[in-house]
Structure 1
């Protein structure tokens, strides 16, 4: 798997004259993804503020990154909230860890802030159309990397659309994130389902090889018992954007957006920016303070900025997907930074 390390917190985006006070290690996903944008923008903000230099490794599998933060081997990572949930139980990709050790490791994780910037979409090439997205029998569908949160969400999407399970009615295609686009453009799948920010560089890259159509979740399916279970499942949050805004984000690309009403509705992947519970409180405070003060940069530095659902205000834990099945706690330093900025933090997020 191709992995690239960005030294000096994307120094092309930050003044060189500022001397950082700390050097931290971080991992993130591939360029073009929402976590990558958030992490590199955060790194530039921290560098500019003189708080820290992040040494970021790209192309990481976040399943491994979450465990590395919990074990104290990595300072920071973006975490789909389903991963700490699975780790706390020692199940799924963490079955080898076991429930006792998993609970101990999950207890070492704290959040600085939250976002829900990616929504699950379904797509296919117009040159090989799918007549009915509710009938996917026999199709090869790229539904995520070999393990982790995106795969869980991708499988949930196909089950919701068609009632089919991976390997039982359709063939799930999985490989690492850096290989996703080349696999799909190379004909390795008939369709795909991917959690994407708005706009998604990955969807634009796919469309560069030929026109594509992407779909939200039809209203009757989203409002069904299974649909609502998936929306409320660990690691998920509701997602809805006016369809004209959604289409405008892809203007100039050969991308058709299909919905059954005037909004693009799906389920979002809820994320937290995580650190170890052992991180120094003052450092966590300064990191979070810089995040809050950098709101304008997050929102304006990319077309996807307004759709990141970042926690720049009061944090109730429910909208962030962190006070239900997932019980994520914030770092005390982060809580202090939010409160100093005049925001409230729900009791369920306090350690």
Structure 2
């Protein structure tokens, strides 16, 4: 159920800062997801630093959240970076806006920091095995919510693995995120693909109904022309974790992990923490400064912390999934905070 929560104590001046706490509106995904963990941790960090208190609405559809930030109706949201790309062209879920208005709205988006913690994977129940993940013709596959970045990436994953397209070679099944686990455990699909953090509470919940097997992208497919196109597609970033670490993250659960080498390799959904371009420079600076100073809290506050791909160092653009097709810019205040911390920022990210 979608609910709103208020994170933050009384408005006061923190000793280290000579400014009053701001109140920020924000939307995030459902509990258990990577964006939810990052946003709630950020809210606690900003409150304890005396920077801001965040009013967070959970269970949001980020496609709508991105548009709300661009329109100035929302202060902050996590954004799969394919969404500003689609908005800037007025296509996909933003086709009703059109390219001219979409470009205008997208120009009002700025990024404070990045992450790439949701990696695309493929799975099935061991009781209903897939003999060959390169042969998925005729299968029913859960491949995402009804629209948005995850669905685009899910369809790309199945095409990369098997060459099949949704609605042609296989039947894609979509449900809103809160219904994902029940849709899969109910037995209505043969397999699923989705972007997940490590470890994924959703995969653990799915495995509670019976043993499952998870796969990365085989090396030859990832290195293929299509694989490289998908890896470099708007909103994607490289993802690689030693397979033993990946398996250890699911220890104690009936989850088998299959790779063709010693690492779990796939593509990640690149995310940015977005705000409006009109956010005060000093506020953006203080938010980002507090974020950078809370590195240990982000990395150790959850088992998935070390695998979130959070940006606590130099920002080269390519590693973060930008400076190619995705042309979002960082907020001036965020750039100042990173540079004061001794980090470099790629020129392509400067407004």
Same structural fold, with TM-score higher than 0.5 when normalized by the shorter chain: yes
What's the secondary structure of 2:170's corresponding residue? Answer: strand
Deviation at 1:18, TM superposition (A): 7.8
State the match for 1:306 in structure 2: 306
Superposed counterparts of 1:116-195, under 5 Å: 116-195=116-195
Deviation at 1:327, TM superposition (A): 0.6
CA distance in 1, matches of 2:12, 2:300: 23
2:12–2:50 Cα contact (<8 Å) kept: no
Please identify, of 155-164 and 133-142, the stretch whose mean Cα deviation from structure 2 is larger: 133-142
1:237–1:321 Cα contact (<8 Å) kept: yes
CA distance in 2, matches of 1:4, 1:192: 27
Superposed counterparts of 1:311-326, under 5 Å: 311-326=311-326
CA distance in 1, matches of 2:124, 2:163: 18
State the match for 2:72 in structure 1: 72
Superposed counterparts of 1:247-326, under 5 Å: 247-326=247-326
Deviation at 1:59, TM superposition (A): 1.0
CA distance in 2, matches of 1:254, 1:103: 47
CA distance in 2, matches of 1:289, 1:208: 40
CA distance in 1, matches of 2:73, 2:196: 28
State the match for 2:228 in structure 1: 228
What's the secondary structure of 2:265's corresponding residue? Answer: strand
Please identify, of 90-99 and 132-141, the stretch whose mean Cα deviation from structure 2 is larger: 132-141
Q: Runs of 5+ in structure 2 lacking a partner?
A: 15-19
CA distance in 1, matches of 2:188, 2:72: 38
1:28–1:58 Cα contact (<8 Å) kept: yes
CA RMSD of aligned residues (A): 1.4
After TM superposition, the score normalised by the length of structure 1 is 0.96
Superposed counterparts of 1:103-114, under 5 Å: 103-114=103-114
2:238–2:267 Cα contact (<8 Å) kept: yes
Deviation at 1:16, TM superposition (A): 10
What's the secondary structure of 2:315's corresponding residue? Answer: coil
CA distance in 2, matches of 1:41, 1:208: 27
State the match for 1:6 in structure 2: 5
Judged with a 3 Å threshold, the aligned counterparts in structure 2 of structure 1 residues 212 and 16 are, in CA distance, closer, same or farther, namely farther
What's the secondary structure of 1:165's corresponding residue? Answer: coil
State the match for 1:51 in structure 2: 51
CA distance in 2, matches of 1:284, 1:136: 46
Deviation at 1:318, TM superposition (A): 1.1
Q: Kindly provide the CA deviation profile for residues 135-194 of structure 1, in whole angstroms up to 9, marking residues without a partner as x.
A: 111111111111100000000000001111110011111111111111111122211100
Deviation at 1:341, TM superposition (A): 1.1
CA distance in 2, matches of 1:214, 1:204: 11
Which consecutive segments of 4 or more residues in structure 1 shift more than 3 A? 15-20
Q: Kindly provide the CA deviation profile for residues 19-56 of structure 1, in whole angstroms up to 9, marking residues without a partner as x.
A: 77011111111111111111111111111111111111
Judged with a 3 Å threshold, the aligned counterparts in structure 2 of structure 1 residues 137 and 277 are, in CA distance, closer, same or farther, namely same
Q: Kindly provide the CA deviation profile for residues 114-151 of structure 1, in whole angstroms up to 9, marking residues without a partner as x.
A: 01111100001111111111111111111111110000
CA distance in 2, matches of 1:61, 1:209: 27
CA distance in 2, matches of 1:329, 1:247: 36
1:18–1:47 Cα contact (<8 Å) kept: no
1:18–1:48 Cα contact (<8 Å) kept: no
2:11–2:21 Cα contact (<8 Å) kept: no
2:236–2:270 Cα contact (<8 Å) kept: yes
1:109–1:276 Cα contact (<8 Å) kept: yes
CA distance in 2, matches of 1:190, 1:214: 13
CA distance in 1, matches of 2:210, 2:13: 45
User: How many residues are aligned here?
Assistant: 346
Q: Runs of 5+ in structure 1 lacking a partner?
A: none
Judged with a 3 Å threshold, the aligned counterparts in structure 2 of structure 1 residues 301 and 17 are, in CA distance, closer, same or farther, namely farther
